Amino acid sequence: MLYFCLCCYLFKNVYAQGNACDFFTKTGFKTWNHSLERFNLHVGEVNSVHNRCFNKMLDFENQSQSIQVAFNKQSEKTRSEHRIRLEASTNVARFLLEFGLSFRGHDESESSKIKGLFLGLLEWLGKMLPDMNNVILKHAPKNAMMTSPKIQKDIVSSCAQEIVKAIIDDLDGDFFGILIDEYKDISHHEQMTLSLRYVNENGKVNERVIAIVHVGDTSAQSLKETICSLLLRHSLSTSKIRGQGYDGGSNMQGKMNGLKALILKETPSAHCIHYFAHQLQLTLVAVSKKNLLVGNFFAIIANVLNMVGSSFKRRDQLRDHQAERLEQLLESGEVQSGKGLNQERGLQRPGDTLHVLDAIKCGGFNPNDRLQAGAFLNMINEFEFVFLLHLMLKILVMSNELSVALQRNEQDIVNAMIFLDITKKRLQLLRDDRWESLMNEVSLFCDKHEILVPKMDEFYIPGKSKRKFCSVTYSHHLRVELFYAIIDFQLQELNNQFDVVSGNLFLGMASLNSVNAFANFDKKRIMILAKHYPDEFGEPVLRNLSHQLDTFIIHMRCDDPRFSDLKGIGDLAKALVNANLIETYSLVYLLVKLTLILPVATATVERAFSSMKYIKNELRSSISDEFLNDCLVCYIEKDIFINISNDAIIDHFQNMKTCHCQI
């Protein structure tokens, strides 16, 4: 094989001369043993042929001196003006994204007076800042105005991708849980939200939306492929999934072919939790289905809402009567005034609703409306209906408090189960001790609104028909068949719906709870919990965990103020990070993180869908799926968005297209 001097060989026609050069560019050589002296002679002095060829090769490799760069080379003034235009467009886009506003108008021509918010805000900025006005819009080159729809979408895409990059950096390759749900937007596109739940380096639990994508097929296999594709796009592996959160759909929760099962086949430690708030909702639905009278009660309520709420005139009557009544109550001192108090909340006062129904019955223009209003009045004025109204109100208030607790983003599974247990105890207390007080409230309400109170020792007659004779008294019917039965149904459904997390997995997590100086600490249960994660806790690691737990519990129960007032596992994670003990108790901290990763609530995905209704509405129904995703990520994760610098967004934008002007 022959060898040549590359730089001289490439540029020999320009500089080649003499035999020394020919030897290394034309003739070639096979070995170095006789050629070293000649090669040194070939290299020569600083201005030799070889060195000039070598410098020429370096110049050729320098892309900044290439012809393409020479064509694109611009003056400092041109680059500065381009930067001003790009920054102005970026600032306008950021403002619109932060508030979820539309970008474009129906007519964006120069003569249009309504050009859309993007161009309108850019014009306004120009009027406020004369220096900027001299280089933007009509004062900019026609091919570099930085205002076209394509440029707008590229800027928005840059914003969204920088937000997701910040989320992935915050995750830092650690374990995470996934929260998935589906929703049909106004264009009837099935949209799937993918959120990550993880514990960051500060020990804080985060739930972040990283994508909202259109899925044409909602089968479990199709959803799994979409999820894997999204995770892969952001360099995330399904092997790092340690928690799954879904609703009760068969394509999600199916034991054989559901999304949960498909992911568990690949990652057995990706434990699945049925959203707690969704399970709570199912308990209320189940009670209304199991008890006919409760089902009828809610049906009447729904029909009354439709009748009164469907007419603007009736709504006005309701508001006027509420305002008059509220004024009387304020004057008498029965209610207090203050910020956020006594605001309109639909049909919240039964007396006001009765007033409107009575007005429809007596003065309605439509005979059908008059008949329906009269029928509803008769139903509402029954003692049994009033009794159910007060009873269900108490149950729903308790359920709502639990629902609010379950909807907190940072809520962990142990605290969620504690709140659930509190709710069950309150229901049991209502059943055991609140019968008399409930009957007093119902009787006072009936006296106030002139509703007939039946004698409790008389036989109960269902409905108005005397033929439907019953062998039980009103007292037995109300107390046993309604009061006890409804509360028992509710307690039973709470136990049935939440039995999934009552096994060893939850008991081990509860043993890590830091409340009351780790009162529930149980080493045996914690060791069983660790075995649910075989990839992280093999036999040798389990032995080390056992030793760590012995030291850990002694440390936590000592008089260390850093661990004296912890409210739950979330606080424990933060305290271990702040005390710089995550290396000392690395295995315990890993278990704590895995516990916190398990999702509890639908809050994040539900907020995403609420935002989708705001972003993609009737006026913006044609927004593309990709642009919708970018807008939603920016709108939902605005706390991250405000910390993303313009420089990062502009750098990302510049790297998207080679045709963008270099600044």
Winning range, highest mean pLDDT, from 90-94, 191-195, 597-601 = 90-94
Instruction: Provide mean pLDDT across the span 141-153.
Output: 87
Q: Element (H or E) spanning 300, and its range?
A: helix 292-309
Asked whether the predicted pLDDT for residue 355 surpasses 80, the reply is no
What integer pLDDT is reported at residue 340 of this predicted model? 46
Give residue-wise pLDDT tens across range 558-594. 878 888 888 888 889 999 999 999 999 999 999 999 9
Winning range, highest mean pLDDT, from 383-387, 493-497, 596-600 = 383-387
Q: What is the per-residue burial (b if ≥16 Cβ within 10 Å, else e) of 341-365?
A: eeeeeebeebebbbbbbebbbeebe
Q: What are phi and psi of 249, to 5 degrees?
A: -60, 145
Measuring CA to CA, which residue among 299, 282, 300, 297 is closest to residue 489? 282
Packing angle between helix 504-511 and helix 413-433, nearest 10 degrees?
A: 100
C-alpha distances in Å from residue 560, one per residue of 563, 569, 579: 6, 17, 10
Sequence spans of domains, the chain: 6-70, 74-147, 156-275+602-656, 281-450, 503-597
Residue with tokens 């069950």: 424
What integer pLDDT is reported at residue 529 of this predicted model? 87
Asked whether the predicted pLDDT for residue 479 surpasses 70, the reply is yes
Asked whether the predicted pLDDT for residue 188 surpasses 60, the reply is yes
Collapse the DSSP code of 305 into the 3-class scheme (helix H, G, I; strand E, B; otherwise coil) and give the result.
helix
What integer pLDDT is reported at residue 58 of this predicted model? 80
Asked whether the predicted pLDDT for residue 265 surpasses 80, the reply is yes
Asked whether the predicted pLDDT for residue 154 surpasses 90, the reply is yes
What integer pLDDT is reported at residue 343 of this predicted model? 46
Q: How confident is the model at residue 19 (pLDDT cuts 50, 70, 90)?
A: very low
135: CB partners within 8 A, 6+ apart? 81, 84, 85
Please name the residue ranges forming H helices in 557-602.
569-578, 586-597
What integer pLDDT is reported at residue 376 of this predicted model? 73
- d(CA 272, CA 507) in angstroms, rounded, equals 16
What integer pLDDT is reported at residue 501 of this predicted model? 47
Asked whether the predicted pLDDT for residue 269 surpasses 80, the reply is yes
The DSSP output letter for 174 is -
Instruction: Tell which wins on pLDDT, 332 or 174.
Output: 174
- d(CA 234, CA 161) in angstroms, rounded, equals 10
Span of 366-370, 515-519, 545-549 with lowest mean pLDDT: 366-370
What integer pLDDT is reported at residue 240 of this predicted model? 93
Here the tokens at position 223 are 């959803």
What integer pLDDT is reported at residue 502 of this predicted model? 46
What integer pLDDT is reported at residue 415 of this predicted model? 74
What integer pLDDT is reported at residue 470 of this predicted model? 64
- d(CA 420, CA 487) in angstroms, rounded, equals 15
Whole-structure pTM value: 0.72
Burial class, 34, CB count within 10 angstroms (exposed 0-12 / middle 13-18 / buried 19+): exposed
* CATH class of the domain at 156-275+602-656: alpha beta
What integer pLDDT is reported at residue 553 of this predicted model? 92
- d(CA 355, CA 167) in angstroms, rounded, equals 54
Measuring CA to CA, which residue among 632, 626, 637, 645 is closest to residue 150? 626
Contact (Cβ atoms closer than 8 angstroms) between residue 218 and residue 190: yes
Burial class, 340, CB count within 10 angstroms (exposed 0-12 / middle 13-18 / buried 19+): exposed
Work out the mean pLDDT of the chain and round it to a whole number: 80
Instruction: Tell which wins on pLDDT, 662 or 95.
Output: 95
Contact (Cβ atoms closer than 8 angstroms) between residue 274 and residue 246: yes
**Maximum C-alpha span of the chain:** 129
Q: How confident is the model at residue 202 (pLDDT cuts 50, 70, 90)?
A: very high
Q: What is the DSSP string of 372-430?
A: HHHHHHHHHTSHHHHHHHHHHHHHHHHHHHHHHHHT-TT--HHHHHHHHHHHHHHHHHH
- d(CA 520, CA 321) in angstroms, rounded, equals 54
Contact (Cβ atoms closer than 8 angstroms) between residue 438 and residue 390: yes
Asked whether the predicted pLDDT for residue 23 surpasses 60, the reply is no
pLDDT above 90 coverage of the chain, percent = 27
- d(CA 280, CA 275) in angstroms, rounded, equals 9
Winning range, highest mean pLDDT, from 19-28, 67-76, 79-88, 654-663 = 79-88
Give residue-wise pLDDT tens across range 37-84. 667 777 777 777 778 888 888 877 776 666 666 555 557 778 888 889
Asked whether the predicted pLDDT for residue 117 surpasses 60, the reply is yes
Asked whether the predicted pLDDT for residue 258 surpasses 50, the reply is yes
Asked whether the predicted pLDDT for residue 16 surpasses 50, the reply is no
Give residue-wise pLDDT tens across range 524-538. 989 988 998 999 998
